[in-house]
């Protein structure tokens, strides 16, 4: 099981240590009484909107209560208050992984490492998630037909996540186990779900970090894998799907530059807007005003005619934010450009 350490690596301040409500909330969390801690912390953050330590603990308690989207909002608020901190991004990665959004989790870990290079926990988590993605791609490849070389690479990579796994095991991912010396009353496993889930670890006191962690050692020799073409070079259905995924991740991550780069310069926003700049201003305001956004696609159908320059995609879009929930059928038209597949139009379907 992938383990994420949600640790607040901050120096204790006298004001924080003296705050009786926060101390009570910490005691309740260490005892496993997260619902009770949430009530206490809710009153603290309502009274002190700039108390980033309280918001951090609030987010951790929400994760334990399976309130993932509320936790995202809490950790985003910590980032707003203390933009130089790396820990909230690591925590967001754990939440996104819990929600099944591996790409969003990877992006948060990359941000964490930019803010704190050599952040060991984030580096380990990033490695685990890249292995997870590699296993998924190997499994997809094997689903199209037997390939002994790919099967061997898959089996070796599987042992990186679980050294005890047999090479002939069915392709069910079992993640590497790691042990920590964290006190038992401060480590609680999240509710099991089909995807790997984090073990949420709270320090016994602010400023404490988990020590003496042991990690599974890789047992696989380096292998060379032919690189896939970049999105800008791939005119196939795979290229279309890659572009669609890049757009979804940018939207979910509220990365406006990446979001708008998914659209063609000739994108037509429809009759609702007087111009493309008006549409862009509206989308900027709406996306920035959300505390969190999570977009998922299913039932994706791609049609590329003989010209191979235009693709029509039909998807069932699941949109979640702090203010809106919607499930809509959508048709997206993409055109192949020198910079890859770009969105020309998108319309809601009945």
Q: Taking a C-beta distance cutoff of 8 angstroms, is the pair 73, 294 a contact?
A: no
Query: Is the model's pLDDT at 122 over the cut of 60?
Result: yes
Query: In the prediction, which pLDDT does 265 show?
Result: 92
Query: In the prediction, which pLDDT does 335 show?
Result: 93
Class level of CATH domain 14-132: mainly alpha
Q: For residues 267 and 117, give the distance between their C-alpha atoms in angstroms, rounded to a whole number.
A: 38
Domain boundaries, the chain: 14-132, 237-348
Give the length of the chain: 350
pLDDT tens for 60-88 read 998 888 888 888 888 999 999 999 999 99
Alpha carbon of 287 to those of 77, 281, 309: distances in Å? 15, 10, 30
Query: In the prediction, which pLDDT does 308 show?
Result: 73
- Rounded to the nearest integer, the mean pLDDT of the chain is 74
pLDDT tens for 311-326 read 999 999 999 988 888 8
Query: In the prediction, which pLDDT does 234 show?
Result: 52
pLDDT tens for 3-25 read 444 445 444 444 443 368 888 98
> What does the DSSP assignment read for 242-287?
HHHHHHHHHHHTT-HHHHHHTB-TT----TTSSSHHHHHHHHHHHH
Lowest mean pLDDT among 117-126, 175-184, 270-279: 175-184
Q: What is the pTM of this model?
A: 0.48
Pick the CATH number of 237-348 from 3.90.1150.10, 3.40.50.300, 3.10.450.50, 3.90.950.20: 3.10.450.50
Instruction: Give percent of the chain above pLDDT 70.
Output: 72
pLDDT tens for 224-242 read 333 444 444 456 777 888 8
Average pLDDT over residues 264-291: 91
Query: Is the model's pLDDT at 29 over the cut of 50?
Result: yes
pLDDT tens for 129-185 read 888 888 878 888 888 888 888 888 877 777 665 544 443 333 222 222 333 333 333
């Amino acid at each position: 099981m992938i383990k994420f350490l949600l640790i607040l690596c901050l120096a204790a301040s006298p004001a924080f240590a003296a705050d009786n409500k926060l101390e009570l909330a910490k005691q309740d969390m260490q005892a496993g009484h997260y619902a009770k801690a949430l009530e206490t912390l809710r009153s603290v953050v309502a009274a002190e909107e700039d108390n980033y330590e309280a918001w951090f603990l609030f987010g951790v308690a929400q994760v334990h209560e399976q309130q993932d989207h509320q936790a995202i909002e809490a950790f985003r608020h910590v980032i707003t208050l203390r933009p130089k901190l790396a820990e909230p991004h690591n925590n967001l990665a754990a939440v996104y992984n819990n929600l099944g959004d591996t790409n969003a989790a990877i992006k948060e870990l990359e941000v964490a490492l930019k803010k704190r290079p050599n952040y060991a926990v984030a580096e380990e988590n990033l490695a685990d998630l890249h292995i997870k993605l590699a296993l998924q791609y190997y499994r997809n490849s094997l689903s199209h037909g037997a390939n002994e070389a790919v099967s061997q690479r898959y089996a070796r990579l599987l042992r990186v996540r679980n050294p005890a796994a047999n090479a002939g095991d069915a392709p069910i991912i079992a993640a590497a186990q790691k042990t920590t010396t964290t006190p038992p009353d401060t480590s609680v496993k999240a509710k099991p779900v089909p995807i790997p889930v984090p073990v949420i670890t709270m320090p016994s006191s602010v400023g404490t970090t988990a020590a003496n962690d042991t990690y599974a050692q890789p047992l696989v020799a380096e292998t060379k894998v032919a690189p896939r073409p970049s999105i800008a070079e791939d005119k196939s259905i795979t290229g279309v799907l890659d572009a669609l995924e890049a757009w979804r991740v940018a939207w979910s991550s509220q990365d406006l530059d990446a979001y708008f780069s998914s659209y063609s310069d000739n994108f037509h926003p429809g009759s609702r807007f007087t111009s493309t700049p008006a549409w862009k201003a509206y989308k900027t305001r709406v996306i920035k005003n959300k505390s969190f956004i999570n977009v998922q696609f299913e039932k994706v159908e791609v049609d590329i005619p003989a010209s191979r320059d235009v693709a029509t995609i039909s998807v069932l879009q699941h949109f979640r934010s702090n203010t809106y929930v919607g499930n809509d059928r959508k048709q997206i038209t993409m055109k192949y450009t020198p910079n890859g597949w770009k969105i020309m139009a998108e319309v809601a379907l009945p």
